[in-house]
Amino acid sequence: MSTTGPLGQRAEAVARLLGPHFRRAQELGLLGPAPVTTQVWRSLAFAAVAAQPPQHLAIDLGSGAGLPGLVLASVWPQAKWLLVDSNQRRARWLEGTITALGWSARVSAVCERAEILGRGHLRAQADLVTARGFGPPGATAECAAPFLMAGGHLLVADPPASTVAASCRWPEEGLARLGLKWQATQVVATQAGPTTITSVIALALCPDGYPRRNGAPAKRPLF
């Protein structure tokens, strides 16, 4: 799959809009040193594999400097986003950036652990959850599943599909415990190089026992 076409045409506009913010994040040590345009292109890969823009709520886990959350909020200007990061400094930077962009009516940031949020009022409220570098598959799935309504999707940036079998990273039995099912692992061709995105669908609401207590998903992954 390629990000040429409508999404590719928007990459330069997104980079112009968000570039100054991301470069400032680099100066502050909140974002890696890769060129901003490269990071924008890789974030656009999420939109390339999405079935449709989120209609209810999208949540970006471990948002950091807002990749892919801020990029996708730019691509989908009608979508409502919550950017989640447990680091106070990163969350505060996100809040300031959202305000500077004039997006506060539809995009917000919160400094909190995903496990805590997943046990609260946001449970089963999202039709899309994204994750880029949040954690290993088992932890990512367990933290994301509680947010998803039935039919919602989790999109995760994965290592190149050729190096690790999707069936090993996203085992059917482990996902089923969370009401999830692997759909596809796709390599998206971008101007920054190939980017691998895995799509997981929520077949049912996440069982009440998940997420487990804070830190358990990462320390003792389900798979």
> Whole-model pTM?
0.95
Q: Which of 10-14, 29-33, 148-152, 212-216 is least confident?
A: 10-14
Q: Quick one: pLDDT band at residue 2, thresholds 50, 70, 90? A: low
User: Does pLDDT of 47 surpass 80?
Assistant: yes
In the prediction, which pLDDT does 115 show?
A: 98
Share of the chain above pLDDT 70, in %: 95
Better-predicted residue by pLDDT, 109 or 15? 109
Q: Per residue, what are the HEC states of 1-16?
A: CECCCHHHHHHHHHHH
Instruction: Provide the pairing of β-strand 180-190 with 193-202.
Output: antiparallel
DSSP string, 96-122: HHHHHHT-TTTEEEEES-HHHHHTTTT
Q: Per residue, what are the HEC states of 127-142?
A: EEEEECCCCCHHHHHH
Per-residue pLDDT tens for 101-140? 999 999 999 999 999 999 999 999 999 999 999 999 999 9
Going along the chain from its start, the domains and CATH numbers come out as 6-219 (3.40.50.150)
What's the mean per-residue pLDDT of the chain? 94
Q: Quick one: pLDDT band at residue 51, thresholds 50, 70, 90? A: confident
User: What is the number of other CB atoms lying within 10 angstroms of the CB of residue 85?
Assistant: 27
Q: What are phi and psi of 48, to 5 degrees?
A: -65, -30
Q: What is the mean pLDDT of residues 151-159?
A: 96
Task: List CB contacts of 64: < 8 A, sequence separation 6 or more.
Answer: 30, 31, 85, 90, 133
User: Does pLDDT of 162 surpass 60?
Assistant: no
What is the SS3 assignment for 55? coil
Tokens of 146: 């509680």
Q: Quick one: pLDDT band at residue 167, thresholds 50, 70, 90? A: confident
Pick from 86, 145, 95: nearest CA to 119? 145
